[in-house]
Amino acid sequence: MKLVPGQNITLSAQATLIRVKIPQQGYIIHAIALGSDGKAVPAAAAAYYGRTGLPGLTLAKPASAEPVVQVRPEDIPHGTERMLLCLSAWSGFISAAGKDAIEIADDEKAYTADIPFTGEYERSLILGEIYRRKGEIRFKIRMEGFKHGIESLNQTYGLGLETTPPVRLHSPQL
């Protein structure tokens, strides 16, 4: 089933996988846990770089494959109102990525949503949010862009995320 921005789906009570099809270089997937005030709980509650998870959510990037987010509804703490799933570009703009998709799958259903890389100047994009409603865990497609990238996410949600890419050291030559 194809999803569009603003559309909500109920996630399985079992683990659900969200696969994000993006170019391999220059982009990062991250997640932010938010409290009832709309701010990160605690201020460092983000999965990013080497910190690959939050309670109820794990980020993985298998070798030569798209990033995968595993959502475990039973492990999401009750103090967490929402979790945002985001995509950011290290340099340049999201629009340079072209057109790709998100796949959401559990044991029972599969969904896709196109990622509209049409914003000319956005450097970060909230792909969707995971939230609890009437005892169910739901996912809403958002596709909301931020012109100033990770800096905007830091300011909006009270985060302290690094705004420069991680340094990769080359192996010494013998």
Give the pLDDT confidence of 78-128 residue by residue, as tens digits.
778 898 988 887 777 776 665 667 788 877 788 888 876 666 677 888 889
User: Residue 115 to residues 99, 100, 124, 129: CA-CA distances in angstroms?
Assistant: 6, 5, 12, 14
- Report the DSSP pairing between strands 110-115 and 2-3: parallel
Does position 44 have pLDDT exceeding 80, yes or no?
A: no
Q: Write down all domains in the chain, each with its CATH number in brackets.
A: 2-104+112-157 (2.60.60.30)
Residue 34 has pLDDT above 70, yes or no: yes
**Contact (Cβ atoms closer than 8 angstroms) between residue 67 and residue 17:** no
Instruction: Give the residue with greater pLDDT, 166 vs 101.
Output: 101
Four-residue CA torsion sign, 86, 61, 58, 15: positive
pLDDT at 172: 43
If you write DSSP's letter for every residue of 43-64 in order, what string do you get? TT-EEBTTB-EETTEEEE--TT
pLDDT value for 140: 94
Amino acid 129: pLDDT: 93
Instruction: Give 116-162 pLDDT, tens digit per residue.
Output: 666 667 788 888 999 988 888 899 999 888 888 888 888 888 876 66
The rounded mean pLDDT for the chain is 77
Query: In whole angstroms, what is the distance from residue 28 CA to residue 61 CA?
Result: 10
Going by pLDDT thresholds of 50, 70 and 90, the confidence category of residue 41 is: confident
- Between residues 61 and 60, the one the model is more confident about: 60
Q: Higher model confidence: residue 31 or residue 163?
A: 31
> What is the pTM assigned to this prediction?
0.81
Of residues 73 and 101, more confidently modeled: 73
Average pLDDT over residues 21-29: 71
Is a pLDDT exceeding 50 seen at residue 167? no
Q: Report pLDDT for 171.
A: 43
